[in-house]
Structure 1
Amino acid sequence: MFTVLLVIHVFVTLALIAVVLVQRSEGGGLGIGGGQGMGNFMTGRGTANLLTRSTAILATIFLALSLILALMTRSSTNGVSSIFNGPKAPVSTMAPMTPVPAAPAKPAQPSAPATP
């Protein structure tokens, strides 16, 4: 399921890029679909409306697929933490400390003088 959604996401991404590049910009710069872009099929205004709606639809699908894929990835990760999971309680690997009885004090032994 994840792979199918990922492939659809790639196709939607490529279609969105193509539709954005075909649109005529305000200055008429890089737009491939110029004044009579689609021949006699549609007027300039009709072409602009079609491309604008197509961009909005593709952008909505792109956003929805991105969120779905992110949620699927988040739920499928095992043992990987994220900043969105919240802080974890510290885990102590040390055994609890128990008081150790003090050793009895030993009297100091006199040291032998050093012989030269």
Structure 2
Amino acid sequence: MNVVLVAAGAAVGAPLRYLLDRFVQARHDSVFPWGTLAVNVVGSLVLGVLAGLPATPGLSALLGVGFCGALTTYSTFSYETLRLLQQRTYLLATLNAGVSLVAGLGAAYVGITVAAAL
């Protein structure tokens, strides 16, 4: 049953990642990967809320593993950071790595805090 829940969450998370990434990136005329940053921060926030709630194993499989796992993307973050390095945009590569880490952790903390307040 958990596999079905993971698949259902991923079926929503993956297309949403694509759509959100394209929506955000289309509004920036920059090589900086704003879309990937946005999906990773949103996913961290959602996972933080979920972690802060008394979620059932089924809900954790659906939203945590399935939805957030498909929404967020460490591989694309890594690729885009390496691409920035190859283009010798060292400041943007460093900012991408640093901002992604700080914003992701911050979003997860905010999510846990919000869940605790509920």
* Category of TM-score, reference length = shorter chain: 0.3 to 0.5
Greater RCO between the two (CA within 8 Å, min separation 6)? 2
More helix by share: 2
TM-score, L = length of structure 1:
0.40
Which structure's CA Rg is the greater one?
A: 1
